[in-house]
Structure 1
Amino acid sequence: MHIDQWIAAIPPLAVYVTIGLIVMIESLGIPIPGEIALVSATLLTIHPSSAVQWEFIAVAATAGAIIGDSIGYSIGRKGGKPLFEWLGRKFPKHFGPSHLATAERAFAKWGMWAVFLGRFIALLRIFAGPLAGALHMRYPKFLVANALGGIVWATGTTALIHFVGQAAEKWLSGFAWVGLGVAVVAGAGISLYVKHRAGKAMAAPADESH
């Protein structure tokens, strides 16, 4: 089957549901690549044979982020710090003491906005919901930051990849896959810059304590 036929055969609803579930599972505190899945799905919207629309991908990812983080918040509220200690023993690569300490510094520095900023940082994206619950952050404050973070992250990422990819594809006139590559590089560059700045901000309290 030709690539155009294969892309055209992908049911848009299946893409939206899959993205929503992947983002929701990651937001629960399970380390899976939600951001990569979001970018990959958005790339489909650039291809002329695809019926997938970036707006609905953004809606699905936002819903998954809000629902997943809220469930994670409930789990953290019930499990508390012992939950993270248990996870650290079982999955030290993702929930080790250093990871937890970094996430706690972010919460100490930014409060509820650690939930908002956490949507843009892989480590905090996993920790935000459960840790907010474990630290007994008030749910209304958590929900506001969670919803805003989900909307900005999902809409910003999908819009950036879609429109940069479209512009690159038109400019390169026919080299569609090169255009998609340019979109990925541009999106990854901006994402890495945001993560770098946020990482420096999180490390600042630790440096000041020495």
Structure 2
Amino acid sequence: MIEDVSYGWLGDLLMAVMEALGPIGLGIAVFVENVFPPIPSELFLALAGFTAANGTFTPAAGILWATIGSVTGALVLYGLGAWLGRRRLYKIAYAMPLVDIDDVERTERWFIRFGYWTVFLGRMIPIFRSLISIPAGIERMNLWLFTLLTAVGSLIWNSLFIMGGYLLGSNFHLISDYADVFSNVVLGLVIVVLLVWITLRLLRNRRRARDPNYRPETPDEAAARIDALVNQHPTHGTSDA
């Protein structure tokens, strides 16, 4: 029986979903977190472990469905990257007022240089674990290898937090008083970071507009440079498909 305590607005919402749908609800929540990375999966997974300790479902079921949600969300972003392709994605970035082609290009460079290990290790880095799926799709990384590395990395990450919550068990209420604070701090940080980022971009765009020598790079130019980088790193775990 789950104790009548509050785990913050975000935690309480997840608890209600898991009580209604069981571990499948956790899988859905983790899927959403993967597609919208600012949502803190750490809180979700720890609460899932606590829920498992109270007998709602087993830890194994929670880990299984959390991993299914992680892999499914990653495949959606992989498909988005593969469908858009480099040039189309760069054209979209070029048309957006606050986004630079450099922003997309930087992520691609990182993936190309360090290869498929970024997918495995990236699954255990907040926010980045979702974003790395997009360049993997653009580069058409072997889908089976991408799915395997994503599943293994997600399995490790999910197991750590779910088992941590499970081992805390009935003592999880000791940190419940801080859950709402944590949720609000996360939301506040997301808003602050977003506002700072927008402000800096607006100031940068203003400086560029005043510089008569500044010429923005075209999508084709950026894509050609990344194509050349790909040719320099032919064995980074991608496929020709």
TM bucket (normalised to shorter chain) is 0.5 to 0.7
How far does the alpha carbon of each residue in 1:42-72 deviate from its partner, in whole angstroms, 9 at most, with x for none?
A: 23334x4x52432221111101111221222
Partners of 1:54 and 1:162 within 8 A in 2: yes
Equivalent position of 2:49 in the other structure: 42
Offset, 1:13: 5.7
Equivalent position of 2:61 in the other structure: 56
Partners of 2:18 and 2:26 within 8 A in 1: no
In structure 2, relative to structure 1, the CA distance for the partners of 1:52 and 1:107 (3 Å cut) is same
Q: Does 1:66 align with 2:71?
A: yes
Normalising by structure 1, we get a TM-score of 0.62
Work out which of the residue numbers 134, 137, 140 in structure 2 matches 1:136. Answer: 140
Percentage of identical aligned residues: 21
In structure 2, relative to structure 1, the CA distance for the partners of 1:120 and 1:103 (3 Å cut) is farther
In structure 2, relative to structure 1, the CA distance for the partners of 1:39 and 1:86 (3 Å cut) is farther
Partners of 1:19 and 1:61 within 8 A in 2: yes
- Output aligned runs, 1:164-179, within 5 Å: 165-166=168-169, 169=171, 177-178=173-174
CA RMSD of aligned residues (A): 3.7
How far does the alpha carbon of each residue in 1:93-149 deviate from its partner, in whole angstroms, 9 at most, with x for none?
A: xx8767645533541343111111121112322212222111221212212211211
Amino acid in structure 2 at the alignment position of 1:149: G
Normalising by structure 2, we get a TM-score of 0.55
Partners of 2:71 and 2:150 within 8 A in 1: yes
- Higher relative CO (Cα under 8 Å, sequence separation at least 6) belongs to 2
Offset, 1:41: 2.6
- Output aligned runs, 1:2-41, within 5 Å: 3-4=3-4, 12=19, 14-27=21-34, 29-35=35-41, 36-41=43-48
* Aligned mates of 1:21, 1:60 — CA distance in 2: 8
Offset, 1:17: 2.2
Partners of 1:103 and 1:123 within 8 A in 2: no
Q: Unaligned regions of 5+ residues in structure 1, if any?
A: 170-175, 183-210
Equivalent position of 1:204 in the other structure: none
Q: Unaligned regions of 5+ residues in structure 2, if any?
A: 7-11, 179-241
* Aligned mates of 2:153, 2:23 — CA distance in 1: 19
In structure 2, relative to structure 1, the CA distance for the partners of 1:37 and 1:83 (3 Å cut) is farther
In structure 2, relative to structure 1, the CA distance for the partners of 1:135 and 1:58 (3 Å cut) is same
